[in-house]
Structure 1
Amino acid sequence: MRILYYSFSCAPCAGSDEGLGWLWPFYMRNDHEVYVVTRKDRKPQIERYLKDQNITNMRFFYCDIPDWMNFYYKTGKGFLAYQKLWQYPAYGMIKKLHKKYQFDLIHHVSTTDFRLIGFVYKLDTHYILGPLGGAQQTPAYLRDYTKNNSREEKMRALINRLTISNPGYQKAINKADYIFLANKETYQYIYPYIKEKERCRLLLDIAIDKSKISPGEDTGRQKTDRKTDSIADQDKVMTFIWSGRMVYRKGLELLLDALDCIDRKLPYKVVLCGEGPEMEHLKELSREKRLEGHISFTGQLTYEKMQKN
């Protein structure tokens, strides 16, 4: 089967959307003829990896909006607008590629935002969407955690409603052979608008490189040995790692409130990896709650460094 992957975010040796956009075609290449359209800033990293690993059964095509209007590359701001604008040149390129290669299937795998699915549904071929997310809303009983961002919450809800009520959007999602949703909230939001319900499925948007998973080892110890070990382990520090962009919607302030309820004598540590507009506020909050001995901030780490944590 000849498959085109529509991957705005795509990079080897990465997590999150980048890993998702990379690993779908990476693993499918062994059984199918794989093509990928992604943005041009990923080209050096992707081409270097393909060369180093001697991978010849993945074909990449790079496109982007004009440099003069690409404010995201210049300032690092306006990522949502950049993602939206990128859909236009991407569709133009995919349309030309489809005319040349006649893809059996086009899979929109990234972005995972349900509001940004592009225009490839207009092409005459099989079509898969997702896994998509983004329709989650803060529950009423947790609204205190969004009080400083109420305007953004309302704008997000408005954009969601405008998106799902758009006839063109409804046509796009109903053209899909399958539409995968990453969480129950997005599933429940979109499901009523899907005419053929069996096409709508839940699928986590988690990308895992199988080579990074260490299989469990069978030590052959008796139950008495494991019981002795569990007693010794009580003196060890249990460490939790969180990774992501520090924005209010991630619920990190709620996490700090939860940690504030735990006995300070318990041996645990929480490591927060990443950056974002909430970082300094969270650091100050952890100091106010006297959690410094249990929580640490690493800042943004590379994928390689994350593997060593």
Structure 2
Amino acid sequence: MSEGRVSIAASSGERGAEPGFALAASAEMLYRDLPFLDRIKRITERGLQVEIWDWSTKDIAALAASGATFSSMTGYLRGDLTTSDGIAELLATAEQSLAIAERLDCPRLNLHGTGLGPDGLPVHPVEAVTPAMWLTAADTLRRIAELGARAGRVFTLENLNLAVDHPGTPFARAADTLALARAVDDPHLRLNLDLYHAQIGEGNLIELVREALPYVGEIQVADVPGRCEPGTGEINYPAVARALDAAGYTGVVGLEAWAQGDPDAALDAFEAAFTVG
């Protein structure tokens, strides 16, 4: 790492970070014609870290033996940030997730404003978030951060979009997740800043990453529209990459996108967009 640059990846539990970004790719969304372990192998052979979602559907022993470096995984199975039953479920399944993260040596565990169903829709949609819900959510996330601190892991709160993929999800906007991270102000609760979702919901991505960077644990990307690799839509990801580099970000950038065509070509485009220099 060059002198004077802070590695957010290192502060989130990764060791040996080098200048530039650590790149990861979602095994859930790429190489979908292959068995899951083969997807992980293909991503790993390219020198990338691997992101996974719901660990409860996976062969954990096989994942642990795969030799992959796991960047992030889903950090809960059920629950929400604001209801008594939902909070209890969230905390209980977060603890279960931490045990799996230990087996996989996965540094980051991802959260959402509420539990999502298989189609990405909230299990309990919310029309309006009240002031009381904001206070309860911040308190719940403080308890989540305490779990992360005890386990030496980081929970990341992901922003989502309401217009296309996740209508009815509370605390979905990047502005919402950033406000909650600021309120908790704990290094074990950070943002999973998803720029695909942010572009749909808010835009102004370069200013967003500059403002959010002190609270970012990981960044995820896909182009808009279509949620495919960089270069297939309207986002100037090379410009975003240069802004991240100028701001000193050396953490993980993860491709959470469908391949428009060949997955290898999609990863080529992703790597090209986030190679600065």
Compute the TM-score of the two structures, normalised by the length of structure 1: 0.30
Bigger strand fraction: 1
Q: Relative contact order, CA 8 A, sep 6+: which one is greater?
A: 2
Bigger radius of gyration among the two: 1
Compute the TM-score of the two structures, normalised by the length of structure 2: 0.32
